[in-house]
Amino acid sequence: MSDRIHSLSGYIHEYQRSVNQPEQFWSRIADSFHWQKRWDKVVDWDFEGPDVKWFLNAKLNITENIFERYLFTHGDHPAIIWEPNEPNESNQTITLRQLYEKVNQFSNAMKAKGVGKGDRVIIYMPMVPEAAVAMLACARIGAVHSVVFAGFSSNALADRINDCSAKMVLTADGNFRGAKSIPVKAVVDEALEKTSTVEKVIVFERTKEAVDMKAGRDIWWHDAIKGQSTECKAEVMDSEDLLFILYTSGSTGKPKGVVHTCGGYMVYTKYSFENVFQYEPGDVYWCTADVGWITGHSYIVYGPLLAGATTVMFEGVPTYPDAGRFWEVVEKYKVNQFYTAPTAIRALQAHGTEPVTKHDLSSLKVIGTVGEPINEEAWHWYHSHVGKMKCPVVDTWWQTETGGIMISPLAGVTPTKPSYATLPLPGVQLVIVDADGKELKGNSVEGNLCIKYPWPSMIRTTYGDHERCKQTYFSTYKGMYFTGDGVKRDEDGYYRILGRVDDVINVSGHRMGTAEVENAINEHPKVIESAVVGYPHEVKGQGIYAYVICDMENRTEENLTNEISETVRNIIGPIAKPDKIQIVPGLPKTRSGKIMRRILRKIAEGDTSNLGDTSTLLNPEVVEAIKEGAK
Ligand code: 6R9
């Protein structure tokens, strides 16, 4: 049964219902799932705590809603189509029954190695079907997965392992990415030198490069599943038991572990998937994200599989072996819904239209974007050249913390407008507030985006530190969840996301805290102090600009900037490497010692004409020196 909305009036009706009678609304949607025990109450919430619970005391296993629910009727239906990095390596189509068996077998393998309900398991893997198998096997046995993007450094990986005291790590020998091969297992080995909780490491063989296998700790995936049964009873989970932890960057400190729970996440990801993409049985859906990000969790694995969809998993990158790869894959599998990031669109736009027009994209019905604001030019390029003016563009706004898509057109239902995420999904009650927390009512207003009522897939806590969750999301504006994004509601009531209003920057759709990058830079022994800001970047959306005060003894600027770059790479990973590093004699500070980032941002943007009043600074002379150096 599908709860798909088919018309604009249908959407308006459903939205009204979801606001007027949220409990009845969500109860009706949840009724179409398989629960081992029904809930006693739909929702219990308090944003002060915060304390949010959905489908109280219900029992379920999310994997039964992916497998058992469809197996009898759709066992031979392709669940995952896997496209490898190299176009001529053989691809894989995995039917629902095959996936079910792989998941059960791996569930049994993990159990045999001592993992059980509630244990934390780190998944640090390339984009192979086994990454999805690993996630689903954790869910099957009630273990809590925490996927770490396989581009993060050993330090970043160690931090995450330690934060959640993981018992097991699932990884691979290596990771093919375009023309490169990354030695993933070696990174895990390094990380494990800084951790003490991991008992076993299961290694999937992908690249066949030589790896060290530590006796007693490391096991090959193929050995681990040998002799294991393809039947594994699903663990009984409470609706509010943890499903997974996913680490994400905020404006302060180290990345925090966003916690999602079983019941609500299941209901919302399927509902939003079917409605936003208007998925119909038999369609082939492709999201190009990595499973290391929330988009990969909700809209490669859980949402599509809960909807009985065929989901494409792609191991490679958009420009390998050439800029036509995405379109080649769309043509090859006759993809109907395609979902990617603005940064990828802009990168491909730079290669012209030839790589697009070369391929038959007539299968496409819906094209989507996620991760950062999409500029109008990229929106039009995507709409015209990929969507041939006939496919609706769904610009989907959401966050790791929201678990699912919050603001987006429903394809073919909501009239679109370039650069607008348009309207909230049913159940999503948005509020725009000014700096003082006053609600800005009506249309044609601009301010900070908050949400005033809970939705099923919302963050429950930050792992091991509930206070941090409260401080970060529920304390800025009393009684509301604060998103960290600025937003405009235009004269038609349509929403346009303006970008982060906090110290989070968004580089190629990847979230990074400026403080996190500064801390990494400061690890270099010659660095005295640093300040990081974002600046507009043609392809990445935002680039990273670092101003650094250094001890220059025995070093040239070039040595130093290269070394600093390397330091950031080692501490966080290649995605956090600054695009520009400027060695400066000082940083502009207020008399109370606060860095004036506003000035640094302007200089990074190349707009030095209007720096405002700098006379109240502790050190106004430094601004001139920085301006000079930036030229
Ligand atoms: C899903 C995801 C969340 C931040 C979010 C916002 C930005 C995401 C967007 C968008 C404008 C969109 N963002 N989608 N901005 N339009 N359609 O990306 O989660 O990695 O946690 O990032 O990304 O700034 O606050 P996450």
Q: Which atom of ligand 1 is nearest to the CA of 405?
A: 1
Residue 371 is given by DSSP the state: S
Can you tell me which atom of ligand 1 is nearest the CA of 499?
A: 24
Determine contact, residues 546/531, Cβ cutoff 8 Å: yes
Share of the chain above pLDDT 70, in %: 100
Ligand 1 atom with the smallest distance to the CA of 293 is: 20
Stretch 555-575: mean pLDDT: 94
Atom of ligand 1 nearest to the CA of 398: 1
Interatomic CA distance for residues 189 and 184, integer angstroms: 9
> Which atom of ligand 1 is closest in space to residue 497's alpha carbon?
11
- Output the residue whose Cα is nearest ligand 1's atom 4: 399
For ligand 1, whether the C-beta of 463 sits within 6 Å is: no
Is the pLDDT at 346 greater than 60? The verdict is: yes
Maximum Cα interatomic distance, the chain, rounded to a whole number of Å = 74
pLDDT surpasses 70 at 304? yes
% of the chain exceeding 90 in pLDDT:
92
Ligand 1 site, residue 248, Cβ cutoff 6 A:
yes
Q: Residue 251 — very low, low, confident or very high, per pLDDT cuts 50/70/90?
A: confident
Condensed to tens digits (0 to 9), the pLDDT of residues 94-118 reads: 999 999 999 999 999 999 999 999 9
Cβ(287) – ligand 1 distance below 6 Å: no
Res 1: pLDDT: 53
Of 147, 268, 397, 494, the residue with max ligand 1 atoms within 8 A of its CB, to mutate for a pocket test, comes to: 397
d(CA 72, CA 570): 49
Q: Are 532 and 578 in contact (CB under 8 A)?
A: yes
Q: State the average pLDDT over residues 20-32.
A: 98
Q: Which of 411, 434, 436 is nearest to 487 (CA)?
A: 434
CB 131 within 8 A of CB 301: no
CB-ligand 1 contact for 497 (6 Å cutoff):
yes
371 CA to centre of ligand 1 in angstroms: 4
Pocket test for ligand 1, best of 152, 450, 506 (most atoms within 8 A of CB): 506
Per-residue pLDDT, averaged over 508-514, amounts to: 92
Nearest residue (CA) to ligand 1, atom 5: 399
Query: What is the SS3 assignment for 249?
Result: coil
Atom of ligand 1 nearest to the CA of 400: 21
The pLDDT score that the predictor gives to residue 528 is 92
State whether the Cα torsion 464-470-471-473 is positive or negative: positive
Evaluate the CA torsion angle 379, 384, 389, 394 in order and state its sign.
negative
How many whole angstroms from 398 Cα to the centroid of ligand 1? 5
Find the mean pLDDT for residues 513-541: 94
Decide: 161 and 127 in contact? Cβ < 8 Å.
no
CA distance 122 to 110: 12
| pLDDT value at residue 612 | 79
Cis peptide bond upstream of 418, omega within 30: no
Predicted confidence (pLDDT) at residue 615 exceeds the cutoff of 80: no
Joined together, the tokens standing for residue 446 give 């601009």
Q: Show Cβ contacts of residue 334 under 8 Å, excluding neighbours closer than 6 positions.
A: 284, 363
Q: Is 505 in the pocket of ligand 1 (CB under 6 A)?
A: no
CB-ligand 1 contact for 370 (6 Å cutoff): yes
Atom of ligand 1 nearest to the CA of 504: 24
Pick the residue whose CA is nearest to atom 10 on ligand 1: 372
- End-to-end Cα, the chain, rounded Å: 61
pLDDT at 110 (0 to 100): 98
Indicate if the pLDDT at residue 616 is higher than 90: no
Range from 322-326, 376-380, 612-616 carrying the lowest mean pLDDT: 612-616
**pLDDT given for residue 554 in this prediction:** 84
502 within ligand 1 shell (Cβ under 6 A): no
pLDDT one-digit tens code per residue, 74-97: 999 999 999 999 999 999 999 999
ipTM of the complex: 1.00
DSSP-derived letter for residue 474 is: I
Average pLDDT over all residues of the chain = 96
Which pTM does this prediction carry?
A: 0.95
Distance between CA atoms of residues 272 and 4, nearest Å: 9
pLDDT greater than 70 at residue 173: yes
Confidence of residue 326 (pLDDT cuts 50, 70, 90): very high
Compute the distance between CA of residue 360 and CA of residue 348 in angstroms, rounded to an integer: 17
Give the mean pLDDT of 60-82. 97
pLDDT tens by residue, 355-364: 999 999 999 9
C-alpha distances (whole Å) from 387 to each of 105, 404, 464, 571 are 40, 24, 44, 40
3-class secondary structure for 56-72? ECCEECHHHHCCHHHHH
Judge if the beta carbon of residue 278 lies within 6 A of ligand 1: no
Between the CA of 589 and the centroid of ligand 1 the distance, in Å, is: 31
The residue-averaged pLDDT of 59-81 equals 97
